[in-house]
């Protein structure tokens, strides 16, 4: 039976992640993975499996939030479905294959890669926004290769791909608002393929925690998804009143601290 204090913790975590996602327009993987790593260590999950379980669980949580985001952007006409179709095959291939790579990597190496990537994301947030130089329009061959790369990295750090997809689309002459909407739609195949991959790759691992299937811990997915789904809306509303630029800098520092803590916890 799941204790009440753990239930409340997952609900609060989901509420925070959803609010931050809506407020700052960022995914929750940067918060979820390090915090879930700490929680799972407290619950007795071995260090050699804990980051895998955190990545898989976080990826499963993204399914609900990405679907909600996709629907909202679609209703505003901000999703370019032609690009979604062009990128989905490469995204699915890259994401799915990377879960197999992740399953063979030591938790320490995964934590190092995660921390390095989040560090780069944080530095990018602290910088002033740069103007991307436009390249030629999207071409099928280049799109497939780029999509595989985006999917691969997304699976290894458990993100919906927005931090990679949006800049990629903007540099190829896609309006930033439509790039964000299209990226939100692309987050759904990333989360579905990533979750399936982590389920399959963790299937034969005996993880020391009840209610887990593969590398996905079901109670955390359910509880985090419930509250994040609702609080994301309030985050979006709050973005019109709160100093988002200042908060992004604080969030960048939080990413660095959480990633560093996760790295220390698995050493």
φ, ψ of residue 201 to 5 degrees: the values are -70, -25
Q: Is the dihedral of CA 22, 25, 27, 31 positive or negative?
A: negative
pTM of the entire predicted model: 0.88
Q: Residue 249: which pLDDT band, with cuts at 50, 70 and 90?
A: confident
**Mean pLDDT for all residues in the chain:** 86
Angle in degrees, CA 26, 260, 167, rounded to 5: 30
| pLDDT score of 239 more than 90 | no
Per-residue DSSP letter, 242: S
Which residue has better confidence, 125 or 188? 188
- What is the pLDDT at residue 151? 93
Q: Can you read off the two tokens belonging to residue 103?
A: 């399953």
**Residue 131, pLDDT above cutoff 70:** no
């Amino acid at each position: 039976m799941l204790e009440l204090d753990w239930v409340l913790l997952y609900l609060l975590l989901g509420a925070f992640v959803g609010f931050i996602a809506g407020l700052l327009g960022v995914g929750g993987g940067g918060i979820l993975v390090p915090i879930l790593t700490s929680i799972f260590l407290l619950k007795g999950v071995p260090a050699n499996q804990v980051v895998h379980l955190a990545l898989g669980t976080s990826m499963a949580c993204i399914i609900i939030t990405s679907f909600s985001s996709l629907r909202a952007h679609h209703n505003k006409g901000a999703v370019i479905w032609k690009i979604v179709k062009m990128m989905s095959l490469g995204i699915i291939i890259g994401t799915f294959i990377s879960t197999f790579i992740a399953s063979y990597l030591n938790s320490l190496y995964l934590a190092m890669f995660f921390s390095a990537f989040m560090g780069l994301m944080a530095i990018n947030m602290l910088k002033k926004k740069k103007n991307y130089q436009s390249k030629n329009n999207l071409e099928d061959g280049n799109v497939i290769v780029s999509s595989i790369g985006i999917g691969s990295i997304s699976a290894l750090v458990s993100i919906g791909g927005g931090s990679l997809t949006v800049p990629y689309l903007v540099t190829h002459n896609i309006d930033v608002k439509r790039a964000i909407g299209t990226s939100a739609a692309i987050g759904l195949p990333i989360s579905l393929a990533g979750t399936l991959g982590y389920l399959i790759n963790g299937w034969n691992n005996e993880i020391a925690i009840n209610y887990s299937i593969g590398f996905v811990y079901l109670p955390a997915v359910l509880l985090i998804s419930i509250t994040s789904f609702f609080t994301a809306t309030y985050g979006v509303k709050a973005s019109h009143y709160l100093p988002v630029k200042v908060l992004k800098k604080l969030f960048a520092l939080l990413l660095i601290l959480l990633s560093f803590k996760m790295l220390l916890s698995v050493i």
